[in-house]
Amino acid sequence: MFRSWTLWALGYLDAALADAYQAVDHARDIGQAASLMYALGTTSLTHVLCGNYALANAQLDELGHLANEKASLFWKAFPIATRGCLYTQIGNAVEAVQVIKSGMSALHSTGASMWEPLLMSYLAKSHAELGQFDDAWRCIGEATTSLETAKEKFFEAEVYRISGEIERATREPDSVQVQASFKHSLAVARQQQAKSWELRAAMSLARLWRDQGKASEARELLAPVYGWFTEGFDTRDLKEAKALLEALAA
């Protein structure tokens, strides 16, 4: 199931979705609750990353019901935390803050600490959207610390990109710091050959440059990253990238 995450990160979005669907189908065929809970939980993140929010939500509902039936504390906690990420992505900041905190508390009660860089950075993003910047920066600090202590590098580029977005949203943003965060995110993604994280970082930096009156530079940055992709054009990030490129060319 983690294979679908890797495929997504590498930029093979249709393949990632196909793998996610297949994983759940295979788990249903096996007929074991543990296998199905694992499949539903891990592939729900793939759907969140691709912007398939309705399907992710349905899988999390099914996982929650099954986890309650089987009295699985970990899998009861898991969909709470993941749903918080979903709320962050759709801009429901109030719910995101409450649900991510609840989900992380529930996960910690089972001894689990997985996904902390992602969860803390998405919590930070939601705090920032509510104007709670002290909380946002505290969460970013915890996310970056977790990157180093747990060596969970899959979400590293996203943590630094969100850090830049938070700085950019402040009342008096430091444009140098914003650009540095986006460039760091871009460098991490390129070092990991993670084209989907690279696309997100490139979009953030392109928007910054556009707003600074550097539309041509923004397009020159984003166009080759978007042009690399050969599939997944119905996913949220690629739709946003296409729209941004069209706006930059106008």
Query: Could you tell me the CATH number of the domain that includes residue 188?
Result: 1.25.40.10
pLDDT digits (tens, 9 = 90+) for 80-106: 999 999 999 999 999 999 999 999 999
Same domain, 75 and 169: no
Q: Is 173 helix (H, G, I), strand (E, B) or coil?
A: coil
**What is the mean pLDDT of the segment spanning 59-73?**
96
**What is the mean pLDDT of the segment spanning 54-60?**
97
Residue 157 pLDDT > 70: yes
Which pLDDT value is given to residue 233?
97
User: In this structure, is residue 204 part of a structural domain?
Assistant: yes
CA proximity to 225, closest of 211, 248, 213: 248
Residue 52 pLDDT > 90: yes
Same domain, 105 and 1: yes
User: In this structure, is residue 53 part of a structural domain?
Assistant: yes
**What is the mean pLDDT of the segment spanning 69-85?**
94
Which pLDDT value is given to residue 152?
82
Contacts of 64 (CB under 8 A, 6+ apart): 76, 79, 80
* Per-residue burial over 162-199, b = 16 or more CB atoms within 10 Å of its CB, e = otherwise: bbbbbbbeeeeeeeeebbebbebbbebbbebebbbbbb
Same domain, 105 and 208: no
User: In this structure, is residue 133 part of a structural domain?
Assistant: no
Angle at 131 between CA 245 and CA 241, to 5 degrees: 10
Contacts of 49 (CB under 8 A, 6+ apart): 5, 8, 16, 196
The DSSP-derived string for 30-46 is HT-HHHHHHHHHHHHHH
Do residues 99 and 84 touch, judged by C-beta distance below 8 A? yes
Which pLDDT value is given to residue 241?
98
Residue 1 pLDDT > 80: no
Helices (DSSP H) in the chain: which residue ranges?
2-10, 13-30, 33-50, 53-70, 73-89, 93-109, 116-129, 133-150, 156-169, 175-191, 195-211, 215-228, 236-249
Which pLDDT value is given to residue 155?
94
Give the CATH number for residue 51: 1.25.40
Do residues 228 and 11 touch, judged by C-beta distance below 8 A? yes
Instruction: Report the alpha-carbon distance of residue 241 to residue 158 in Å, rounded.
Output: 16
Sign of CA dihedral 120, 125, 131, 137: positive
- 116, two tokens: 């902390």
Same domain, 162 and 250: yes
Which pLDDT value is given to residue 112?
87
Which pLDDT value is given to residue 81?
92
- 115: confidence class by pLDDT, cuts 50, 70, 90: confident
Number of domains in the chain: 2
User: In this structure, is residue 88 part of a structural domain?
Assistant: yes
Which pLDDT value is given to residue 236?
97
pTM of the model: 0.95
Residue 2 pLDDT > 80: no
Residues spanned by the domain of 79: 1-110
Residue 218 pLDDT > 90: yes
Same domain, 86 and 165: no
Encoded amino acid at 240, one letter: E
